[in-house]
Amino acid sequence: MPNRHTMNFQLGANIVEKEIIVDINPYQTRVVLLEDGSPSEIYIERRGRERLVGNIYKGRVQNVLPGMQAAFVDIGLERNAFLYAGDIQIDRSDFTFHGQQSELKSAPLNIKDIVKPGQEVLVQIVKEPVGTKGARVTTNITLPGRTLVLMPSVNYVGVSRRIEDECERTRLKNLLEGLTAEQKMGVIVRTVAEGKGEEEFQADLHFLIRLWERIQQKSRLVSAPRLIHAEEPLVFRTIRDLFTPDIKRLVINDREFCEKIQLVAGIISPTLRDRVELYEDVPDMFDLLGLESAIDKALARKVWMKNGGYIIIDQTEALTTIDVNTGKYVGTDNLQETITVTNCEAAKEIARQLRLRDISGIIIVDFIDMDEIADKERVLATLRSELQKDRTKSNVLGITQLGLVEMTRKKTRQCISHTLQSPCPYCGGDGKVLSHETVVLKARKQLMRMISTDASCDYLLRVHPHIAEIIADHSLPQAPILPITNGRTIYVQGDGHMRVDEFEVTHLSSQEDVRHAQTVARAYPGT
């Protein structure tokens, strides 16, 4: 039976170990990783919008683009997937080379020599579809397990860079080379595998090889496009990737999933099984723990720091910019020290926000200008140190001549804002709409254009009520706002259903139209 508790705990400053909070309801699954009582990673999976990264498809090549060294592959999604030549695993023994073999065999092959239109290929999604872009796929299939990642198409052993002890790295590499020698498959040893023995690796490897055999068998039996293997749901990815020995406890509000998690955790380690706790008598666990407000803050453009400074995060399609400001922080008598302290605090917060929001791609940070090289190195060292806590790979390139820090973070899925937000229907995602004055002048221009072609009737101008107020305010310097109409009347209707940046001008071609306008709009008789 699951460990059943009432919600009697608090998340305070005294908590220094990690916790995982899992909230399951009929509409979505949410997972939050807490570090020192504060959210550091948030994962949300909506029903019908499950994660695609890791899914394996049997696809059909639609187009081959030699100029881009890529191909479009139909995998059954709304948009074709994008397959780069460098993401295609090939057997070079099938090709004839002339000249220096060592040079030619390492040279890239042209995409048109690798795949053909209509060809069926087994591919795996490595990047989610974003905007108008389809998913990015690869033929280099990987199957993640608890301790290992199986790579069926290669034959080498890699060890996670987070395992730093050279003796342990050598031990793991030698052990796995022995276990995979017969299968002629490659593996990557995951960080959680540090200190593990042959028995655990053998069990994980056996499971992954059987899974690969089932995938191959299904692929042979179906025609493209078809989903062959779906990545695990969020709950089980959490157990596989996040539920490590340094997790103090995992709290979940669903009995059925709690029992499944305890079963899986018990296989991994009896210690982990005892750390799974069920809180099913709680109306809203996230709200009670203050995590709802934390998610809201993860969407905010401005993020305040503890010392009174703040950062501004702006995401565009091309890159993410982060601006650092001192805000309310006045610091000491030393200006440079104040700036450096603010920048170091910002570096810590930026690293946390990148994880929390799952921001990836190109990132530009505009720290407050620093004169001393030592101060710059101190800030960069702080940023790199904090990024070590991140499971997603990042690369800090340094400070440019303009004083900007360039960095990248590996992109695999859409950031949290893509899940929780959608583009504004008014501004189209630009964040701005036309000013009131601009709308008034555009409406005036439209009226003048229509009057010049037909001055024989009255006109109705429908606008937002705020715009109607501006037109009615004769004290404004733009007067006359409405054009001269040669005796015709312009009716201005304030319509709350209109957007503030839109307007509509119509002819009042009949007496019935005029009478209706007189009841709903204000009349401006022409001169």
According to the model, what pLDDT value does residue 167 have?
92
| Nearest to 30, CA basis, from 40, 21, 39, 38 | 21
According to the model, what pLDDT value does residue 1 have?
52
| Yes or no: domain 3-50+232-293 corresponds to CATH 3.30.1490.100 | no
3-state DSSP assignment of residue 334: coil
According to the model, what pLDDT value does residue 102 have?
42
| Nearest to 3, CA basis, from 231, 278, 385, 269 | 278
Q: 1, 253 in Cβ contact below 8 A?
A: no
Q: 443, 490 in Cβ contact below 8 A?
A: no
| Yes or no: domain 301-417 corresponds to CATH 3.40.630 | yes
Give, for 209, the enclosing helix (H) or strand (E): helix 198-221
Q: DSSP strand E in 235-298: where?
A: 247-252, 276-278
> Measured between alpha carbons, how far is residue 277 from residues 6, 11, 237, 242, 335 in Å?
10, 15, 18, 16, 50
Alpha-carbon gap, residue 516 to 464, rounded angstroms: 18
Rounded to 5°, angle at Cα 417 from 11 and 307 = 50
3-state DSSP assignment of residue 39: strand
Beta bridge partners of 276: 250
According to the model, what pLDDT value does residue 71 have?
93
Alpha-carbon gap, residue 227 to 231, rounded angstroms: 11
3-state DSSP assignment of residue 264: helix
Q: How many CA atoms lie within 13 A of 167 on its CB side?
A: 1
Q: Which CATH class is domain 141-226?
A: alpha beta
Q: 246, 18 in Cβ contact below 8 A?
A: yes
Q: 304, 310 in Cβ contact below 8 A?
A: yes
Taking the domains of the chain in order of start, what are their residue ranges? Answer: 3-50+232-293, 141-226, 301-417, 436-524
| Yes or no: domain 436-524 corresponds to CATH 3.40.1260.20 | yes
List of the chain residues with pLDDT < 50: 6, 8-16, 92-105, 475-476, 478-479
Q: 318, 362 in Cβ contact below 8 A?
A: yes
3-state DSSP assignment of residue 138: strand
According to the model, what pLDDT value does residue 94 have?
42
Token pair, residue 190, equals 């995951």
Cis peptide before 225 (omega within 30 of 0): yes
Q: What is the pLDDT of residues 151-178, one digit of tens each?
A: 998 888 999 888 888 999 999 999 998 8
Is the backbone of residue 403 left (phi > 0), alpha (psi -120 to 50) or beta? left
Q: What is the pLDDT of residues 99-147, one digit of tens each?
A: 444 443 455 678 888 889 999 999 999 988 877 789 999 999 999 998 8
According to the model, what pLDDT value does residue 214 have?
94
